[in-house]
Every structure is written in C-alpha cells, then in structure tokens.
Amino acid sequence: MKYLIQTWGCQMNDHDSEKLAGLLAREGFTAAAGVEDADVVILNTCSIREKAVNKVYTELGRLREEKKRRPLLVGVTGCLAQQEKDGLFRRAPQIDFVMGTMAIQKLPRLVEEARAGRTRVIDTGDYPDNHLFPPETTLRHSTAKALVTIIEGCNHACTYCIVPTTRGPERHRPWKDIVGEVEDLVAMGYREVELLGQNVNSYMGGCTFAQLLDRVSEVDGLEWIRFTTSHPMNFTAELARTLVSNPKVAPFLHLPVQSGSDAVLRRMRREYTVEQYLERLGYLGEGRDRINLSTDFIVGFPGETEEDFEGTLALLEKVRYDTSFSFIYSPRPGTPATRLEDDLPLAEKSRRLSRLQARQTELTLESNRRMVGRTVRARVESRGALDGGHWLARTGEWKNVHVAAAEGLRLPFGELVDVRVTGAGPHFLRAEIA
Ligand code: SAH
Ligand code: SF4
Ligand code: F3S
C-alpha cells in the first residue's frame, strides 16, 4: 500500500504531515511518487483563509475523477476537517475518512476501517494525549532542520481567527520531553530545530518559553534554534533577552501585529494597543538591529477606514520590518468578526494591500542591502550548484543567499558555512564563501 500526503497551511500542519507519514510507515505503507501511484491520498488541510479552503475543494474534485478510474482511498485531515467534521462528506461524498487535528494518532485505525469497506469513517474527537506524540515515529521531510512541537492550540480569541476552533485550547508538552527529542535529533545528525506552536511564547510546560530556549540550547551539537509563532502579549522582556543574548537562538522574530490602528485592534480582540506593541518590541533594545523582524498584517478588516489603514502604514514606517506577510481579511465561518459590518469594496481592499506590500518590498530591499559587506553564517540548502552557478543557503536571519560556486568547490548539504554578502535583491542575498 502506498500513501500520498498533500499539505497546506502553516509549519504546524507540515509537521503534522510528518507525523501522519510516520504512523503510516509504521503500518508498512510506503510513500507514493504521485497521485497516480497512490492507494491512499490524504489531504492535510488549512482553513485560515477562504483561498486555502478553495484549494482543498479543487483537489477533491480532481481526486473524484481519479476514483472513477480505479480504487483509491481519500482522507481529509487538518484544520478544515476539524472545522467541518461530517459536513465534509455531504459536500464531497468521494471522501472515505475524515480525521480532526486532535485525533492524529487514530490515523492507522481510520485507514484500516476505510480499507475494510466502511464508508464515512470519522474521528474529530479531542484526545488529551494528542500533543504527546511519540517523536521516534515522525518521518521528517528535511534532513537539515527538524520541526519540534512544543505547544498545541491557542487560548487567544482573535475575532477573525478559526485556529482556536480547529486546534482547540492550549496543551503544553513537558520541557523534558522536548529536550529529549532535540537530543535524539542531534544524535541523528540534525543541527537546527524549529520549535512550533500557534503561540509558542505562552509555553508553560514546566518552565517559561525563554527558559525552554536556554535548556534546548544546552544540547551539545545543536547549532540553531528557531521558533514560530509568537503573540505580542506573551512576548516578555525575559524572552527578548534570551533572543538577543543566546547565540544558538537564530536572530529572527516573527511578531504579528495585524494592524496599526487601535480601533481595529480592539475589534480584532488582539489585547494590545499600538503603543503596547511598540513597548514590547522595545524589549529588544540595541539587539533589534541584528534581528530579522517580521510580522503579519490583515488589511480590510470590517470597518477599517482610510485613516486606520494609514495607521498601519505609519507603523510599518516606524518599525521598518525586515519582512512581512499581509493578507486581505477573509471571513471564517462561525467567528465573531463575521457579525461586523463589512462594507468596504474588495477593489479598495486590494488597493490597500498592494500599497502595503509595495512599501514592504522597498523596506526588505533596504534591509537586505544593509547586510552587504557582512560575513554571516548560512546553512547550505541545495545538494549541488544550481544552473545559475550558485548554491542555495539560508542565513540565521532566515534570508535566502545565493552563494557563488567557485571552481572545484564542494559545499556539503546541511552544513553551516561563513559567507560574505556581496549583493542584495528584495528576495535574496548574493554572497561568496568567506
Ligand atoms: N498565532 C499567530 C497567527 C496564526 S495565523 C498569531 O496570533 O500571531 C497566521 C496569520 O494569518 C495571522 O497572523 C493573520 O495575519 C492571518 N489570518 C488569520 N486569520 C485570518 C483571516 N480570517 N483573514 C485573513 N488573514 C488571517
Ligand atoms: Fe488566531 Fe489569535 Fe490564536 Fe493567533 S493568537 S492563532 S490569530 S486566535
Ligand atoms: Fe491553517 Fe490550521 Fe495552520 S488553519 S495556518 S493549518 S493551524
């Protein structure tokens, strides 16, 4: 039996797919090369915005055609599965099984039942041990950076967001389990880990998140720790100190602000004002300049006036984010924001998004240019020189680097190398081996 897992959404979902693959491998399944080759296809879905959901339904349409030609099991897992539950069978009867985000360890049983001919197999229950997944089972995609869950779920209640519904309330993994998993990963050859959660900095699995970073950094042989993602209200001075001073913590911070207008932030229920957000960023002190600072914006939230939007642009100017991700507000079923009046035309929302993104592109280019002349550590991410005569690498700041391939030079995949930055574009740096 061969499986194929298609994944949408965030790193949490990517990592869930690695767990699902591991569970199937344990049952003797092997990975298929493509849909044509698979006996079971799993769609591990995201429902953060409508676009993500539409992609899933498009794929389900394609699989319906494939199922007409030959026997094939189709399963839907992830956030859309948790949100829609058995409603998915009504909308797409070609689905054989549905599994929610909190029932992940039930996958082998669900596949078994579907194989035995049962129809509409489903488990979207909440299991208290879901976050205690046996790490040795996980089948990781990358051999360079390992994803490690530290916390599942979210206790915030942003009015636009589906995640508290799809991922449930916070559950914390004990810190010793996390350190143990990282030790095993390093023994397997990994030098870099990314700690994952919807809100990692509200971690309380026996210590604070800053303490967890310090404890993980003590694992011998580990070189870089990354983490994603953080809520500003849980960003403490202690965490800022650790980020700035612990050399193993990569110099990257993603701290989503969403909007630069207090009125909008209030309606979003983000729990902070612009001023409070800036105060927290201030915890970084001088360290700010060495950190790649990133954020998320939602544009066109219900009731966003031109003035509110100007506030967002003003915040962008003030903070000068190195990168940001911005999205047009997408109403999610059952969330409180859907009850707010939203009369701004889509064309106007798109115009605002373009303005924001155009300015960010300029700021990112400036940020990249500031790195020219510096020597930085980067991890090699391609197995050989690419067509353009360069290797791909990634800096601690999480910037892409094209490293010039010198004659006779062999860069080992996954290794850290020192590179001197020689040029910059908006999406990548150019460099040569230092
Ligand atoms: N836990 C993180 C965010 C996870 S969702 C945090 O609180 O910061 C990732 C991003 O998707 C969010 O930061 C937000 O910018 C965006 N997002 C979430 N729901 C959205 C919606 N309904 N419409 C548009 N963007 C949304
Ligand atoms: Fe969603 Fe807010 Fe939780 Fe982030 S903090 S996952 S935006 S509810
Ligand atoms: Fe999407 Fe769920 Fe992640 S909605 S962004 S896959 S937590």
At 41, which amino acid appears?
V
Ligand 3 interacting residues, C-beta cut-off 6 A: 9-10, 12-13, 46-48, 78-79, 162-163, 166-167
Residue indicated by tokens 């992830």 = 78
Distance CA 252, CA 417 (A): 18
CB 375 within 8 A of CB 395: no
Among 205, 234, 218, residue whose Cα is nearest residue 132:
205
Question: Which tokens is 112 given?
Answer: 């078994």
Distance CA 257, CA 277 (A): 7
Atom of ligand 1 nearest to the CA of 331: 22
Q: Which pLDDT value is given to residue 15? A: 98
With a 6 Å cutoff on the Cβ, whether 198 touches ligand 1 is yes
Atom of ligand 1 nearest to the CA of 296: 15
Q: Which pLDDT value is given to residue 138? A: 97
**Cα–Cα distances in angstroms (integers) from residue 127 to residues 87, 102, 104, 134, 203, in the given order:** 21, 6, 9, 14, 20
Taking the CB of residue 245, how many other CB atoms lie within 10 A of it? 10
Q: How far apart are the CA of 366 and the centre of ligand 3, in A? A: 31
Distance CA 235, CA 200 (A): 10
- Using DSSP, state whether 432 is helix, strand or coil: strand
**130-369: same fold as 2-123?**
no
Q: How far apart are the CA of 13 and the centre of ligand 3, in A? A: 6
At 264, which amino acid appears?
V
- Using DSSP, state whether 277 is helix, strand or coil: helix
Ligand 2 interacting residues, C-beta cut-off 6 A: 154, 156-158, 161, 163-164, 198-199, 231
Reply yes or no: is the peptide bond before residue 45 cis, omega within 30 of 0. Answer: no
Distance CA 314, CA 65 (A): 50
What is the number of the ligand closest to the CA of 50? 1
Per run of 10 residues, the mean pLDDT along the chain (length 434 residues) is: 98 98 98 96 98 97 96 98 97 97 97 97 94 95 93 97 97 97 96 96 97 98 96 97 97 98 98 98 96 98 98 98 98 98 97 98 97 95 84 95 84 89 96 92
Helix axes 175-188, 209-217, angle to 10 degrees: 30
At 322, which amino acid appears?
D
With a 6 Å cutoff on the Cβ, whether 298 touches ligand 1 is yes
| 118 Cβ neighbours under 8 A, 6+ residues apart | none
Q: Which pLDDT value is given to residue 145? A: 93
What is the number of the ligand closest to the CA of 270? 2
Pairing verdict, β 416-424 and 375-380 = antiparallel
Closest Cα to atom 4 of ligand 2: 198
Question: What dotted CATH number matches 375-433?
Answer: 2.40.50.140
Question: Which of 165, 293, 298, 304 is the pocket-test mutation for ligand 1 (most atoms within 8 Å of CB)?
Answer: 298
pTM as predicted: 0.96
Question: Which of 8, 166, 198 is the pocket-test mutation for ligand 3 (most atoms within 8 Å of CB)?
Answer: 166
Q: Which pLDDT value is given to residue 255? A: 98
| 248 Cβ neighbours under 8 A, 6+ residues apart | 217, 222, 223, 224, 225
Residue indicated by tokens 């206790």 = 155
Question: Which tokens is 157 given?
Answer: 């209640």
Question: In the sheet that 323-328 helps form, which strands lie side by side, from edge to edge?
Answer: 252-254, 292-299, 323-328
What is the number of the ligand closest to the CA of 79? 3
Atom of ligand 3 nearest to the CA of 80: 4
Question: Which of 45, 46, 151, 170 is the pocket-test mutation for ligand 3 (most atoms within 8 Å of CB)?
Answer: 46
Domain ranges of the chain: 2-123, 130-369, 375-433
Closest Cα to atom 7 of ligand 3: 163
State whether CATH 3.80.30.20 applies to domain 130-369. Answer: yes
Q: Which pLDDT value is given to residue 289? A: 93
Backbone phi, psi, residue 269, to 5°:
55, 50
With a 6 Å cutoff on the Cβ, whether 270 touches ligand 1 is no
Q: Which pLDDT value is given to residue 284? A: 98
Q: How far apart are the CA of 158 and the centre of ligand 2, in A? A: 6
Backbone phi, psi, residue 248, to 5°:
-85, -15
- Using DSSP, state whether 46 is helix, strand or coil: coil
Question: What dotted CATH number matches 2-123?
Answer: 3.40.50.12160
Taking the CB of residue 372, how many other CB atoms lie within 10 A of it? 14
Question: Which tokens is 203 given?
Answer: 């971690």
CB 352 within 8 A of CB 411: no
Closest Cα to atom 19 of ligand 1: 161
Among 276, 274, 226, 286, residue whose Cα is nearest residue 254:
226
Question: Which tokens is 158 given?
Answer: 């942003």
With a 6 Å cutoff on the Cβ, whether 149 touches ligand 1 is no
Closest Cα to atom 5 of ligand 2: 156
